[in-house]
Structure 1
Amino acid sequence: MKRNTDLSLQTKSQTGFGPHTNSADDPGKKPFQFDGTEQYVLEKQLAMIRTMAQLSSSGVTVYDMQNDIHIFTSKQFYKIYGYEIGELQTNINNEVYDSKIHPDDLEELKKNGYEAMQFIMNVPAEARKQYKMVSEYRILNGHKKYMHVIEQQQILEQDALGNIWLSLGVIDISPNQTDMQGVKYQINNFHTGELIHLAEPTEKGSLTDRELEVLKMISAGKLSKEIGGLLEISVHTVNTHRQRILEKLRADNSIEAVNMAKRNGLI
């Protein structure tokens, strides 16, 4: 499935990962580049995916990010989304599925897809297929009731420039059907088991007033000793604030924390 597109050095103008944003809407989208084997690669991948779908109780789809269409969708995928089997065919625009997603969750999925793309396109091209994005959100089922589903997305194929060309989406009904609000998601490296959480706070209340003061000074290039002098607190206290800021923003360092805060309007 598809949610955004490519933010690599060669293709920074593309949009995001997964099927819930439309890269065709991006006027600066770079063209894909292939080496002439793409038809063979496509047929080989689709043959394997069809076999997998027949053996699986999960819904399976393959999204072509060059043309912004689903080029394969299993019967179980249709069924989970509440469509009659055989009602729809392949080469389907993503809006057919997005219309079933809870409106609040759809906006969050778009944001998450963009963040996931930023992360994945900073990974070396040869390692990108090791990652998958896992999301839990609400869709309207065939009984006109919202239910929670878990969707896993990963890269199948890239073009010669490293643009994500084909992505695989696997969807299941979540065992968690409690009244969950919002979207849960993470990125998982299924080779190493590493979990990457990219969620970022979007409200100023996520940080205390003092933490915001410290973060603004960090953004201005001030050192802990300078910040301590200006705020009349110890360097140890400043460093404690720094650590809490990193934890709350889930950042690895001060530069990353400042960038996250700026993107979300915290400073």
Structure 2
Amino acid sequence: MDTIDILNKEFFTQDFVEEQPSAEMLNRYKDIARNYARMENAVAVLSDLRTNVSYIYYGSFSRMLGIDKCGDEGKVSSIWEKEIFKLIHPDDLAGKHLQELYFFHFIKRQPKRKRTDYYLTSKLRMKSGTNNYIPVLHRMFYVSVPFNDALWLALCLYSPLLFDTSAKCLIINSANGQMTELDKQNSTSILSVREKQVLNLIDKGLTSKKIAETLSISINTVSRHRQEILGKLQVKNSIEACRVAKDLKLI
């Protein structure tokens, strides 16, 4: 199962309640996406995870990408904007999907009132109209369903990378400026080798005492690894840690 398959499973198996967000509520977020495209000249994609539909708004940056749709708006019957994905360097596209999966789990672990504080920002290479790869800033926001904890909308923005940074991908808390750097695009580096060993043994049902004996380490060290794993995967317990790690192909 590749990352898109995992994301589809995570997105579409959420518990969307029967009560649907109103058209007025959706239009409010469509206006936000439209204004990002206008004010930042970005390409903005608003994806509805409940109905599997995307709304695309083309700012002036679309011309640089060779998309002759500046000022246009579009709707596609998928949350995957293939017209844009085909412009992203293949290595960066694979990393982008892994980062979004990690960010999805990160946001799901946050209190609902805090979720809008966070967004994901990363650097991509995208093919321009002259067939050269140019640096692009990608930003992503999730919006929850008003009635429960499911994530309803995903807003992706593509714009020129004006200021380069050493970090390839950051989760930013816009309320306080705190930044969390994700490991490099290979998600397997999220956990250390020892942490993966501990988590594999947890997944097999071993107690901390048995894990300590198996790895020839102390119980206190096992406990420390457990806490590090929960923190890195942004989960509350070992059961969730094993599930998320499998989704991220860490174990």
What TM-score, normalized to structure 2? 0.68
> Higher helix share goes to which structure?
2
1:1-23 deviations in Å (ceiling 9; x for gaps):
xx97999xxxxx8535xxxxxx5
Call closer, same or farther: CA 1:195–1:99 in 2, change over 3 Å.
Answer: same
Shift of 1:88: 6.3
Call closer, same or farther: CA 1:222–1:76 in 2, change over 3 Å.
Answer: same
- Give the AA of the match of 1:169: C
SS at match of 1:90: strand
- Give the AA of the match of 2:34: R
Give 2:96's aligned residue: 109
Give 1:141's aligned residue: 128
Shift of 1:187: 1.5
Does 1:202 pair with 2:188? yes
Give 2:39's aligned residue: 55
1:55-82 deviations in Å (ceiling 9; x for gaps):
3244333232233333241323523432
8 Å CA contact 2:57, 2:72 repeated in 1: no
Aligned pair partner of 2:10 in 9, 12, 15:
15
Query: Mind listing any 5+ residue stretches in structure 2 that lack a counterpart?
Result: none
Shift of 1:188: 1.5
* Seq. identity, %: 19
Shift of 1:106: 1.5
SS at match of 1:202: helix
Call closer, same or farther: CA 1:4–1:167 in 2, change over 3 Å.
Answer: farther
- Give the AA of the match of 2:101: Y
Call closer, same or farther: CA 1:197–1:64 in 2, change over 3 Å.
Answer: same
Does 1:190 pair with 2:174? yes
Aligned pair partner of 2:83 in 83, 88, 96:
96
Shift of 1:161: 2.8
Give 1:65's aligned residue: 49
Q: Distance in 1 between matches of 2:106 and 2:23?
A: 29
- Give the AA of the match of 2:10: T
Call closer, same or farther: CA 1:216–1:77 in 2, change over 3 Å.
Answer: same
8 Å CA contact 1:141, 1:147 repeated in 2: yes
Call closer, same or farther: CA 1:31–1:6 in 2, change over 3 Å.
Answer: farther
- Give the AA of the match of 1:42: L
Does 1:118 pair with 2:118? no
- Structure showing greater radius of gyration is 1
1:27-83 deviations in Å (ceiling 9; x for gaps):
x46556445x61112233333443443332443332322333332413235234321
SS at match of 2:96: helix
Give 1:172's aligned residue: 159
Does 1:39 pair with 2:23? yes
Give 2:145's aligned residue: 158
- Give the AA of the match of 1:193: G
SS at match of 1:192: coil
Give 1:20's aligned residue: none
Call closer, same or farther: CA 1:6–1:73 in 2, change over 3 Å.
Answer: farther
Give 1:19's aligned residue: none
Give the alignment's Cα RMSD to 1 decimal. Answer: 4.6
Give 2:63's aligned residue: 79
1:81-123 deviations in Å (ceiling 9; x for gaps):
3211359641035111111111222122222211111111121
Q: Distance in 2 between matches of 1:48 and 1:212?
A: 41
What TM-score, normalized to structure 1? 0.64
Q: Distance in 1 between matches of 2:65 and 2:171?
A: 23
1:115-138 deviations in Å (ceiling 9; x for gaps):
111111121222211111112122
Shift of 1:151: 0.9
Q: Distance in 1 between matches of 2:50 and 2:201?
A: 43
Corresponding pairs, count:
238
8 Å CA contact 2:112, 2:144 repeated in 1: no
Call closer, same or farther: CA 1:122–1:48 in 2, change over 3 Å.
Answer: closer
